[in-house]
């Protein structure tokens, strides 16, 4: 007989609490190089993000800005040093590539954010903050915006949960990388986007710590951001 509470506890422990065994030790020289590359990427990425999200909706230059931002995160993340794919716990007490767990966590996050949208959508000034981001999809090419969203999500995870996470070391990596992620997102000037970065950063940061790699955070991030892009506009329209 399946016990739902026990199953939920086991899932949370396997996906977000108990790290898989691994040895990712790097020489001090490589760590110093990683930190220099990471810092430089962080400065450039923050500037590009701030400029890109201030481009008016419908302006084609937004696409170039979005691609440039994704390129900054991807190149910075990959050039800082070696990144690992990661492993996940299985029911058979073994290990497999993390796919099912991040999908489940992403869908849970989507459900929570959509529930929050029911509240946000009824508060005009909060809804306007969401519209600032979604208007790029409403007045631009949705397929192109979605493609940029996916590539940017991958790039952010390669950098923040990849290069930056590895640069921080073993002392509070989730807290530090999430804080940096929030501060970078704050450059957009959008309060709700910054709050979303906080919640997402904690979730994917925990996945990075458990799996030891970037695959789980990438899957969760891409599913979450894609779902927000396609589901939030109709959800807001129903409330108005």
Query: 49: closest CA among 164, 194, 175, 146?
Result: 194
pTM value?
Answer: 0.94
Question: Is position 177 within any domain?
Answer: yes
Would 73 be classed as within a structural domain? yes
Residues 5-39: tens digit of each pLDDT: 787 888 888 899 999 998 888 888 898 999 999 99
pLDDT at 86: 95
What is the per-residue pLDDT for 147? 95
Q: Is residue 17 part of a domain?
A: no
Q: What is the pLDDT of residues 32-82, one digit of tens each?
A: 999 999 999 999 999 998 888 788 888 889 999 999 999 999 999 999 999
Residue 5 lies in a domain: no
Q: What is the DSSP string of 2-25?
A: --HHHHHHHHHIIIIISPPP----
- Does residue 227 lie in a domain region? yes
Beta-carbon contacts of 88 under 8 Å, excluding residues fewer than 6 positions away, are: 14, 15, 20, 95, 96, 97, 98, 99, 100, 101, 210, 211, 216
In this predicted structure, the answer to whether residue 1 has a pLDDT above a threshold of 60 is no
With a CB cutoff of 8 Å and minimum separation 6, the contacts of 164 are 38, 42, 177, 180
Give the relative orientation of helices 191-211 and 100-120 as an angle to the nearest 10 degrees.
Answer: 160
- Non-local CB neighbours of 33 within 8 Å, separated by 6+ positions: 80, 81
In a domain, 14, yes or no: no
Examine residue 15 and state whether it is found in any structural domain, yes or no: no
pLDDT tens digits, 103-112: 999 999 999 9
Q: What is the domain extent for residue 31?
A: 25-87+96-239
d(CA 216, CA 19): 13
Please tell me the predicted confidence (pLDDT) of residue 140: 80
Q: Report the number of distinct structural domains present in the chain.
A: 1
- Using a pLDDT cut of 90, give the percent of the chain over it: 60
What rounded mean pLDDT belongs to the chain? 90
Q: Look at residue 91 and tell me whether its pLDDT is greater than 70.
A: yes
């Amino acid at each position: 007989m399946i016990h739902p509470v026990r199953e939920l506890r086991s899932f949370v422990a396997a996906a977000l609490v108990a790290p898989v065994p691994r040895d990712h030790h790097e020489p001090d020289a490589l760590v110093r190089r990683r930190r220099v590359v990471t810092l430089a990427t962080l400065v450039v990425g923050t500037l590009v993000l701030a400029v890109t999200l201030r481009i008016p909706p419908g302006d084609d230059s937004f696409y170039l800005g979005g691609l440039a931002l994704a390129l900054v995160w991807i190149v910075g993340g990959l050039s800082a040093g070696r990144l690992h794919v990661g492993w996940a716990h299985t029911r058979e007490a073994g290990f497999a590539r993390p796919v099912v767990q991040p999908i489940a966590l992403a869908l849970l996050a989507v459900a929570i954010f959509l529930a929050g949208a029911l509240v946000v959508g009824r508060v005009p000034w909060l809804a306007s903050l969401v519209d600032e981001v979604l208007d790029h999809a409403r007045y631009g090419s949705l397929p192109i915006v979605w493609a940029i969203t996916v590539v940017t999500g991958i790039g952010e995870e390669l950098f923040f949960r990849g290069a930056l996470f590895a640069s921080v070391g073993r002392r509070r990596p989730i807290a530090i990388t999430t804080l940096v992620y929030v501060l970078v997102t704050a450059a957009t000037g959008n309060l709700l986007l910054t709050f979303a970065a906080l919640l997402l950063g904690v979730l994917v940061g925990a996945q990075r710590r458990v799996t030891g790699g970037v695959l789980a955070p990438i899957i969760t991030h891409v599913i979450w951001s894609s779902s927000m892009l396609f589901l939030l506009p109709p959800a807001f329209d129903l409330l108005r």
